C-alpha cells in the first residue's frame, strides 16, 4: 500500500529514544553484559543528521531518557526477576551515572529548544508527560529514531499508534541487539503501527518534498488460514 505523504512541520515532532551510553557505547552496561552494541552505536550519525534537519526546519525535537534505580521497590514486587536485574553488568542507565548520560556525539543538541522526557519503563508514554506535551504543542505526527528497536522503540511506537498519532520510523536511525529481532520488529511496525522509511526519505520530508511511503499489506496464505484445530500450542 503506497501513500503520498508530506510533513506539516507545526504538527510534527522528532522523537529521539534513549540515545544513552548504556545502550550505544561499548563500555555501557549493555556492552559490558556481553552484547554487541555496534548496531545501536551506528545510529548516532544518522540521528545527528535528523536532528540537524529538524533544527533547520523548526520541527520540535523530544528526547526520552531512561532512568533506573539500584533499589527499585516497584521491581521488587515481581516474583519473576525483572529485566533490569537480568543483565550481568547490573541494571542499565542508573540515574546520575555516566551510563544514563546522552552519548557525547549528541549532547550538544540536548539544550533548549530540545524537550527532555524522563521515563522508567519501555514506553515513553507510560507515566510520563509525553502525551500531554504533544497535545499541548498540537503534534499529530511522530518521526521516531533511537534504541533499542525491539524494546523501548517498538513499545513506544505501539503506544503512539494506540493514541492515534501517525508514526514514521527512520530505519537506519534505529538499532537493536540482533539483526533478526530488529528486522522482525520493523516489519511488524510497517504492517500495523506506522511506516518504516529511510533516513534519506525522512530528510526529504524535512525539506518539504512529498514522499511515497510503502506500507506492508497483511495477508494470509489460503493454505495457512486459521482453523480452531490448527492453533499454535507451546508443545508443538
3-class SS at 122? Answer: coil
Catalytic status, residue 72: no
- CA–CA distance, 49 with 27 (Å, rounded to integer): 24
- CA–CA distance, 126 with 151 (Å, rounded to integer): 14
Distances (CA, A) of 53 to 154, 200, 205, 212, 234: 23, 11, 10, 20, 47
H/E run at residue 13: strand 12-17
8-state DSSP, 128: S
Strand order in the sheet with 12-17: 115-119, 60-66, 12-17, 141-147, 166-175, 195-197
3-class SS at 63? Answer: strand
- Alpha-carbon Rg for the chain in angstroms: 19
Active-site residue, from 24, 61, 99, 119? 119
List the grid coordinates of 182. 530488529
Active-site residue, from 18, 61, 99, 159? 18
- CA–CA distance, 215 with 195 (Å, rounded to integer): 6
Catalytic status, residue 152: yes
Catalytic status, residue 145: no
Q: Catalytic amino acids?
A: 18, 119, 152
Amino acid at each position: 500500500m503506497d501513500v503520498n505523504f508530506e510533513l506539516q512541520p507545526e504538527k510534527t515532532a522528532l522523537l529521539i529514544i534513549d540515545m544513552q551510553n548504556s545502550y550505544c557505547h561499548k563500555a555501557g552496561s549493555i556492552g559490558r553484559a556481553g552484547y554487541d552494541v555496534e548496531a545501536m552505536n551506528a545510529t548516532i550519525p544518522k540521528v545527528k543528521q535528523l536532528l540537524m534537519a529538524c533544527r533547520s526546519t523548526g520541527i520540535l525535537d523530544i528526547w526520552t531518557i531512561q532512568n533506573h534505580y539500584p533499589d527499585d521497590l516497584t521491581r521488587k514486587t515481581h516474583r519473576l526477576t525483572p529485566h533490569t536485574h537480568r543483565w550481568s553488568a547490573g541494571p542499565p542507565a542508573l540515574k546520575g551515572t555516566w551510563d544514563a548520560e546522552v552519548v557525547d556525539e549528541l549532547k550538544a543538541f540536548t539544550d533548549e529548544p530540545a524537550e527532555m522526557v524522563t521515563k522508567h519503563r519501555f514506553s515513553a508514554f507510560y507515566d510520563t508527560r509525553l502525551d500531554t506535551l504533544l497535545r499541548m504543542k498540537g503534534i499529530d505526527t511522530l518521526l521516531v529514531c533511537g534504541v533499542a528497536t525491539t524494546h523501548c522503540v517498538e513499545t513506544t511506537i505501539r503506544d503512539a499508534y494506540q493514541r492515534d498519532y501517525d508514526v514514521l520510523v527512520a530505519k537506519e536511525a534505529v538499532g537493536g541487539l540482533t539483526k533478526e529481532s530488529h528486522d522482525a520488529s520493523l516489519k511488524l511496525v510497517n504492517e500495523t503501527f506506522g511506516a518504516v522509511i529511510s533516513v534519506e526519505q525522512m530528510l526529504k520530508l524535512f525539506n518539504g518534498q512529498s514522499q511515497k511511503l510503502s506500507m506492508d499489506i497483511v495477508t494470509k496464505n489460503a493454505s495457512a488460514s486459521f482453523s480452531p484445530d490448527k492453533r499454535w500450542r507451546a508443545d508443538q
